[in-house]
C-alpha cells in the first residue's frame, strides 16, 4: 500500500516541479532583463543567498502543517519568541569580558534553548489540534497571539540588541564562499527530503493528510503524527528565528510579520495541498527562489511595500484557483 501511495504521489509531483522550474527560470530571466545592471550580478546573487533561507525554512515549517491538512499561523510568533529568549540569555548571563570559547559555548546553548522553545510551542499547537479537536487555523491563530503577546510583555515592545559577533556570524558568515544561512536551509531541505521519501513519519504525514480516518483504521497513530508534525514545525520556526536575529543583530516581537503570508504562498506554489496529502520539498526550493527573484526585482524597480503585499495576495489566490481546476481536471 505504501509503495503504491508513494508512486502515485511522486508521479503527480513531476509535472508540478517542471512547471515550477520553468516559472523560476522565467522570473529570473525577466528580472535580469528589466534590471540587468543590478539584478544579474554576483553581489546581488550573494545578497539573495543570505535573504531567502529564513523564508525557506519557515515555508518548510508551513508545509509540514499543511501536509496533515492543517496550517500553522504561529510560526513567526514562535520564531520571534525563541529569538527574544535567546537574546535575554546573552544579555543577562554572558560576561562582558567573556573569552571566545565561552561565547561559542553560549551560542550553542542559546541555539538549543531556541529549539526547545520551538518544540514546546509546537507541542502546544499539536495538543490543541490533536487532543482537543480545535481547528488548526483557530488553534494556531490563538497561539500566534499568545506567543507574540508573551514576546511583547517580555520586551515591552522594544528590540533586543547586543548579540555577540560570534552569534551574528550565523546570519552573516560564510563557509567556503557559501553563506551559512543557505547551508542551514539546504541541510534541512535535504533532511526533510529523506524524511519525505524514506522515513515512516513522512509517509504517515501524507496518509493522515489524505484521509485521517482511513489512516487511523490502518493502524497509524494520527494524534501522535499530528503532534510530531507541529513540533517539527515549531523547531524549524525557531531556527528561522535564530537566522533572522543573527542576520539583523536584533530581536523584536513584530519582526517578519509578512513571512506568514509569504510562507503560505511558497508552500502552495511549491505544490502543497492546503487540504493535506500532497507536498514536495523540492517544490519549496523552487517556489522560494521564484519569490525571492520577484522580491529582489521589485525592490530594484522601486515597487512600494504596499504594492508588493497586494501582488503576493493576488498571486496566492491565482495559484489556488489554478491548482483547484488542475486537480478537478485530473479527477475527470
CATH number of the domain that residue 109 is part of: 1.10.3470
Range of the domain at 115: 2-331
Tens-binned pLDDT, residue by residue, of the chain (332 aa): 444 544 454 445 556 777 788 888 888 998 899 888 888 888 898 999 999 999 999 999 999 999 999 999 999 999 999 999 998 998 888 888 888 999 999 999 999 999 999 999 999 999 999 999 999 999 999 999 999 999 999 999 899 998 899 999 999 999 988 999 999 999 999 999 998 888 888 889 989 998 888 888 888 999 999 999 999 999 999 999 999 999 999 999 999 888 998 999 899 888 898 888 888 898 899 999 988 998 888 888 887 777 777 777 777 777 777 767 766 665 55
pLDDT at 274: 87
CA distances from 332 to 9, 29, 163, 185, 237 (A): 18, 35, 57, 38, 38
pTM above 0.85? yes
- CB of 286 closer than 8 Å to CB of 24: yes
- Give how many domains the chain has, as a whole number: 1
- CB of 67 closer than 8 Å to CB of 133: no
pLDDT at 192: 92
Amino acid at each position: 500500500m505504501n509503495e503504491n501511495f508513494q508512486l502515485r504521489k511522486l508521479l503527480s509531483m513531476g509535472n508540478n516541479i517542471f512547471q515550477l522550474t520553468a516559472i523560476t527560470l522565467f522570473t529570473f530571466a525577466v528580472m535580469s532583463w528589466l534590471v540587468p545592471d543590478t539584478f544579474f550580478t554576483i553581489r546581488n546573487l550573494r545578497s539573495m543567498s543570505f535573504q531567502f533561507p529564513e523564508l525557506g525554512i519557515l515555508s518548510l515549517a508551513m508545509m509540514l502543517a499543511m501536509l496533515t491538512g492543517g496550517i500553522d499561523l504561529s510560526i513567526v510568533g514562535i520564531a520571534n519568541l525563541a529569538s527574544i529568549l535567546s537574546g535575554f540569555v546573552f544579555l543577562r548571563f554572558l560576561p562582558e569580558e567573556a573569552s571566545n570559547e565561552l561565547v561559542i559555548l553560549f551560542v550553542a546553548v542559546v541555539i538549543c534553548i531556541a529549539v526547545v522553545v520551538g518544540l514546546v510551542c509546537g507541542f502546544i499547537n499539536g495538543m490543541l489540534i490533536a487532543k482537543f479537536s480545535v481547528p488548526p487555523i483557530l488553534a494556531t491563530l490563538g497561539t500566534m497571539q499568545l506567543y507574540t503577546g508573551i514576546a511583547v510583555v517580555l520586551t515591552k515592545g522594544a528590540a533586543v540588541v547586543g548579540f555577540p559577533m560570534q552569534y551574528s556570524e550565523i546570519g552573516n558568515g560564510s563557509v567556503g564562499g557559501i553563506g551559512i544561512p543557505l547551508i542551514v536551509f539546504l541541510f534541512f531541505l535535504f533532511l526533510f527530503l529523506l524524511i519525505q521519501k524514506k522515513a515512516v513519519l513522512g509517509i504517515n504525514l501524507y496518509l493522515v493528510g489524505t484521509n485521517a480516518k482511513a489512516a487511523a483504521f490502518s493502524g497509524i497513530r494520527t494524534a501522535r503524527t499530528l503532534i510530531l508534525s507541529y513540533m517539527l514545525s515549531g523547531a524549524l520556526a525557531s531556527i528561522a528565528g535564530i537566522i533572522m536575529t543573527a542576520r539583523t543583530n536584533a530581536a523584536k516581537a513584530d519582526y517578519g510579520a509578512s513571512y506568514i503570508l509569504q510562507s503560505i504562498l511558497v508552500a502552495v506554489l511549491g505544490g502543497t495541498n492546503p487540504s493535506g496529502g500532497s507536498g514536495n520539498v523540492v517544490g519549496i526550493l523552487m517556489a522560494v527562489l521564484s519569490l525571492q527573484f520577484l522580491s529582489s526585482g521589485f525592490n530594484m524597480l522601486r515597487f512600494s511595500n504596499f504594492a508588493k503585499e497586494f501582488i503576493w495576495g493576488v498571486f496566492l489566490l491565482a495559484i489556488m484557483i489554478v491548482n483547484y481546476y488542475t486537480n478537478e481536471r485530473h479527477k475527470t
